[in-house]
Amino acid sequence: MALEKFRSTWESIVNPIVDSISTWKPSTLTWIAMPLGVLGGLAVLMAPNTPYGANMLFGGTILITFAITLDALDGPLAGRTGQVTRWGDYLDHTFDRLLDAVWIVCMAGSVFVGDFTLGLAAAWLILLGSYMGTQAQAVAGSRNYRGFGRADRTILTIVSIALMGAFIHFEVGDFGTYPGMLDHIPINPISIVVLISAFGGLWTFLIRFVQAQHEIQNIDREDPLPQPNAPKESE
């Protein structure tokens, strides 16, 4: 989506940073980002609705931001230093999916939402949307990035956690509760982003499925697969 369009601008900004760490292995950044991201998620999960909890939210925001920054640097570092590998790409995408799930579950399980089940459902939908992109790449050969992208979701996550901390410090309360089945969940920045992520994952799944259907069916028409029971052509 919108933030994906600024990828080239972002890469031009990080090039000086990449040059300064050119002796590092890209996988080192990936491995460092993982525990930082998990700690950031746990800080959100364990934060109470108090001024001390607000500071924990700010700390979680910083940790998640560091994790995202390192994750954004490993690819450019690999490209500029000639260390692009299949294993590095696989490791990076695996850790991305793990952190996506950790953050949304920790946000939903926190006192600011209080619904682990919603977090698990949101995580499943997010992973389902991501799966459609990688499955399209496996079948059609091209990655599908349409829908509610990770960059958009991550920025909203960081902003919502920091905003929740500010709300506590300035004594801004929740804005009521959601209607219907979600009437036990308070309306606040974190719960809003959890719901956006859940519906965004579902929308991403649907839009990527439809696009992949068209692309794969076109490939089938242009280059059909050999059929095991098809009669052999006579010589």
Buried b (16+ CB within 10 A) or exposed e, 188-202: bbbbbbbbbbbebbb
Half-sphere exposure (Cβ direction) of 186: Cα atoms closer than 13 Å: 16
Give the whole-angstrom CA distance, residue 164 versus residue 40.
14
Give the whole-angstrom CA distance, residue 55 versus residue 162.
9
Q: Is residue 96 among the annotated active site residues? A: yes
Active-site entry in 71, 74, 92, 96: 96
Phi, psi (rounded to 5 degrees) for 85? -135, 155
The residue assigned the tokens 């490209």 is 79
Give the SS3 label for residue 228.
coil
Give the whole-angstrom CA distance, residue 169 versus residue 53.
10
**Residues with a known catalytic role:** 96
